[in-house]
């Protein structure tokens, strides 16, 4: 099968690029002819809140041989990108959708693809975490020309069907990220990070955005006794000022360890190895790639019951789910987790990992594509 993937690839960095690289390798390993297409410009600099969009020497990125063809801010490139992919004549065009901004560009490319090519998108989100008035029209424009969708959580599938009731969609769990290397000794990891060697260690990891609830976790931390410490590791999207103000006034600020910068791939093992538990205090969400990094390192989770987070924890017993999105409930959930200790939760993670793999994801996508037939006209 000839499969074109249009999305974020090397030299862009981040979880989306990592996902695409892993899926590309899995499809290629199964004997498919795969061609990766990526952006000449992913985001205009004015719209990107982080430090850089690109891989740095500290990142352990997979240098997928991608072809840069799409400028997300230049409509002329949307047309030419569609023509370029159409000339190659793939059986399947596979894309990834996680933010409304890409609706016009990717939706236009989809409309330029020949009717014999099946168009499938892996959906991380349909309704954004932080909504704007453009979200519904942009997303409907993107969804219209598709043949099928792969939803990464029940919440995403349900959001899709509300906007496109006739959508052909399958539900698939996010595979485990497996490119970060092995877990290291917890004592060595804590020494490397300069944190207390024996305290119960909580980790908040990843890009810091309002919907992820870091402020709730900082407040929750005030309800815990001094046997706990909190590691905050990740680059802020926007201003860190509100969180810094919280930390400066916090009664337990000596036990809050701040690493508010982009965490490169080779740094990741230390944080998850140092942690007893990774905490996801989200206000909203669909699913999170952070859960899959945590599981790679056999690190259990405490998460709020929003979006699809509970789907990745409760069926497997690999953590504790908090029913209310409040600091008090999050603190109580953390205390509940430690009543039995991290070990019983961590011991269940290996069995969970056996049920998900990139090879399985690749098979699901290609079998779904075959079930769609030979494509159809584009709306």
Global pTM reads: 0.76
Supply the pLDDT for residue 49: 60
The per-residue pLDDT for range 176-201, each reduced to its tens digit, is 887 788 999 999 999 999 999 999 99
Task: List the domain boundaries for the chain.
Answer: 2-175+356-371, 186-354
Between CA 159 and CA 2 the distance in angstroms is 30
107 pLDDT above the threshold of 70: yes
* Angle (CA) 144 150 155, round 5°: 90
375 pLDDT above the threshold of 70: no
Assign 352 a pLDDT band (cuts: 50, 70, 90).
Answer: confident
103 pLDDT above the threshold of 80: yes
Containing H/E element for 88? helix 75-88
Cα 259 to chain centroid distance, Å, stands at: 20
The per-residue pLDDT for range 315-350, each reduced to its tens digit, is 889 999 999 999 999 999 999 999 989 999 999 999
The per-residue pLDDT for range 219-278, each reduced to its tens digit, is 999 999 999 999 999 988 788 999 999 999 999 999 999 999 888 888 999 999 999 999
Q: What tokens were used for 192?
A: 């490397």
Is 238 in a helix, a strand, or coil?
coil
What CATH class is the domain 2-175+356-371? Answer: alpha beta
The per-residue pLDDT for range 43-60, each reduced to its tens digit, is 887 666 666 777 776 677
161 pLDDT above the threshold of 70: yes
162 pLDDT above the threshold of 80: yes
Q: Can you count the helices (H) and strands (E) in the chain?
A: 14, 13
Between CA 11 and CA 13 the distance in angstroms is 6
The CATH number of 186-354 is 3.40.50.2000
379 pLDDT above the threshold of 60: no
Give residues with Cβ within 8 angstroms of 340, minimum separation 6. none
What burial letters (b/e) apply to 130-161, b meaning 16+ CB within 10 Å?
A: eeeeebeebbebbbebbbbbbbbbebbbebbe
Q: Does 186-354 match 2-175+356-371 at the fold level?
A: yes
| H-state helical runs in 89-134 | 103-111
Minimum mean pLDDT range among 134-148, 227-241, 300-314, 363-377: 363-377
Q: For 54, which DSSP code?
A: B
Assign 131 a pLDDT band (cuts: 50, 70, 90).
Answer: low
The mean pLDDT of 92-109, rounded to a whole number, is 96
Better-scored residue on pLDDT, 174 or 276:
276
Sheet containing strand 319-322, edge to edge, reads: 256-259, 228-233, 200-205, 277-280, 301-304, 319-322
Question: Is the peptide bond between 11 and the residue preceding it cis, with omega within 30 degrees of 0?
Answer: yes
CA proximity to 272, closest of 337, 224, 205:
205
87 pLDDT above the threshold of 50: yes
Supply the pLDDT for residue 377: 46
Percent of the chain with pLDDT over 90: 73
């Amino acid at each position: 099968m000839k499969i074109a993937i249009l999305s974020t690839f090397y030299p862009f960095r981040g979880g989306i690029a990592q996902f695409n690289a892993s899926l590309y390798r899995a499809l290629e390993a199964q004997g498919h002819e795969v061609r990766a297409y990526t952006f000449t410009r992913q985001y205009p600099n004015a719209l990107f809140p982080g430090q850089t969009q690109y891989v740095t020497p500290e990142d352990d990125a997979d240098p997928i041989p991608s072809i840069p063809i799409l400028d997300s801010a230049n409509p002329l490139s949307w047309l030419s990108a569609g023509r370029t992919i159409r000339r190659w004549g793939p059986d399947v065009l596979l894309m990834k959708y996680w933010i409304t901004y890409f609706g016009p560009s990717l939706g236009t490319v989809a409309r330029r693809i020949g009717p014999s090519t099946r168009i499938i998108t892996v959906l991380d989100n349909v309704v954004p975490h932080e909504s704007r008035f453009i979200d519904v029209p942009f997303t409907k424009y993107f969804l219209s020309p598709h043949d099928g969708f792969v939803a990464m959580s029940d919440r995403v599938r349900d959001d899709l069907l509300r906007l496109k009731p006739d959508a052909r969609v399958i539900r698939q769990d996010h595979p485990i990220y497996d490119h970060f290397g092995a877990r290291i000794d917890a004592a060595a990891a804590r020494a490397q990070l300069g944190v207390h060697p024996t305290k119960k260690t909580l980790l908040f990891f990843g890009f810091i955005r309002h919907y992820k609830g870091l402020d709730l976790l900082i407040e929750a931390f005030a309800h815990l006794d001094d046997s706990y410490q909190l590691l905050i590791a990740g680059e802020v999207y926007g201003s860190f000022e509100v969180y810094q103000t919280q930390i400066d006034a916090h009664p337990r600020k000596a036990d809050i360890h701040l690493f508010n910068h982009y965490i490169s791939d080779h740094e990741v093992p230390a944080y998850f190895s140092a942690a007893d538990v990774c905490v996801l205090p989200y206000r909203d969400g669909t699913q999170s790639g952070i859960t899959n990094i945590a599981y790679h390192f056999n690190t259990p989770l405490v998460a709020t019951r929003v979006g699809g987070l509970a789907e990745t924890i409760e069926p497997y017993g690999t953590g504790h789910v908090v029913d209310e999105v409040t600091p008090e409930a999050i603190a109580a959930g953390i205390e509940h987790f430690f009543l039995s200790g991290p070990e019983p939760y961590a011991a269940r993670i290996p069995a969970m990992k056996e049920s998900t793999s990139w090879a399985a994801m690749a098979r699901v996508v290609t079998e779904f594509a075959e079930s769609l037939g030979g494509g159809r006209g584009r709306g």
